[in-house]
Amino acid sequence: MKIASWNVNSIKARLPRVTDWLNEFQPDVALLQELKCLDENFPRMEIEDLGYNVETHGQKSYNGVAILSKHPVEDVMRGLPGDDEDEQARYMEATINTVRVATIYLPNGNPFPGPKFDYKIGWMDRLIARTKELLTHEEYLVLGGDYNVCPKDEDCYDPARFANDALCQPESIDRFYTMINLGLTDALRVFYPSGHNYTYWDYQAGAWQKDNGVRIDHLLLSPTTADKLVKCEIDRTPRAKEKPSDHTPIWCELAI
């Protein structure tokens, strides 16, 4: 099965791009981020008409995540556990065809330093706690999304320029590697062990044309899931089209 993740930067603004991509690429599961709309405003019918089950966890104007699936969706959980006060719609889990999947929109954390970065760190600590819990289960596990973390210098086109950016701070990178050290596999690096493999390019200053990007969208797999990993790719074609998202999809194929 093919599982993809894509930060669409507004599902309403991006609907033609998303439906084109679903029709052409035919993922079994699509983990979406940054819907920027309430659940009742999600274009559910347009997606369902393409053969997908739709689960959303949205909010007005900001954030919002979705899981689209050709297969039945079971045991949906909305919101990241660990803080009942947190109102931001950034996390949802579901079980699809024996695989527990999570769609993750990890806080950006800029400007650094400040309260937004502190929120990012607290959110990552909650994600680590939830991951430990999930790893005690027997299901396959794919944690996909916009992590807003560049794991290494090579994941950023100009590390010096990002020295004070929240995407590249040691406190958040350390927590990303805490996830890896729990036993998760960074699926892209199985096939592309090093080098520039970006998933996001700023709209400004011709960043796409100059390939001034960052790798911040990741698919993390539990050990038994990594054993089933056949392929992982970043699909740059949606980023090159008219009215694109600033992110492009990353996907993997599992022999499940």
Single out the catalytic residue among 105, 147, 198, 200: 105
Q: How far is it, in rounded angstroms, from Cα 26 to Cα 19?
A: 10
For DNA, the binding residue among 107, 145, 213, 238 (CB under 7 A) is 107
- Known catalytic residue at 91: no
From 24-32, 44-52, 102-110, 225-233, give the range in contact with DNA by CB under 7 A.
102-110
Nearest approach, Cβ of residue 107 and DNA (Å): 6
Nearer to DNA, 71 or 116 (CB): 116
From 24-32, 149-157, 198-206, 221-229, give the range in contact with DNA by CB under 7 A.
198-206
- 216 near 148, Cβ under 8 Å? yes
Nearest to 52 by CA among 100, 98, 105, 2: 2
Nearest approach, Cβ of residue 194 and DNA (Å): 25
Crossing angle for the helix pair 170-181 and 115-135, nearest 10 degrees?
A: 0
Give the x/- contact pattern for DNA in 51-70, rule: CB under 7 A. ---------xxx--------
Q: Retrieve residue 220's tokens.
A: 């993390």
DSSP-derived letter for residue 247 is B
Rule CB under 7 A: say whether 160 interacts with DNA. no
Nearest to 187 by CA among 144, 148, 153: 144
Nearer to DNA, 12 or 196 (CB): 12
Nearer to DNA, 140 or 208 (CB): 208
For DNA, the binding residue among 9, 95, 169, 225 (CB under 7 A) is 9
- Known catalytic residue at 146: yes
Nearer to DNA, 92 or 221 (CB): 92
Residue 137 burial class via C-beta count within 10 angstroms: exposed 0-12, middle 13-18, buried 19 and up: exposed
The 3-state DSSP composition of the chain as helix, strand, coil percent (nearest 5) reads 30, 25, 45
Give 145-210 as a DSSP string: EE-----SGGGBS-TTTTTTSGGG-HHHHHHHHHHHHTT-EEHHHHH--SS---SEE-SSTTTTTT
From 12-20, 50-58, 73-81, 133-141, give the range in contact with DNA by CB under 7 A.
12-20
Residues 199-218 binding DNA (CB under 7 A) are: 202-205
- 64 near 92, Cβ under 8 Å? no
From 43-51, 103-111, 174-182, 188-196, give the range in contact with DNA by CB under 7 A.
103-111
Q: Retrieve residue 32's tokens.
A: 């979406």
Q: Retrieve residue 59's tokens.
A: 């909010």
Rule CB under 7 A: say whether 36 interacts with DNA. yes
For DNA, the binding residue among 79, 108, 190, 234 (CB under 7 A) is 108
Interacting residue ranges for DNA, rule: CB under 7 A: 9-10, 12-14, 36-37, 60-62, 107-108, 110, 116, 202-205, 243
Residues with catalytic function: 105, 146
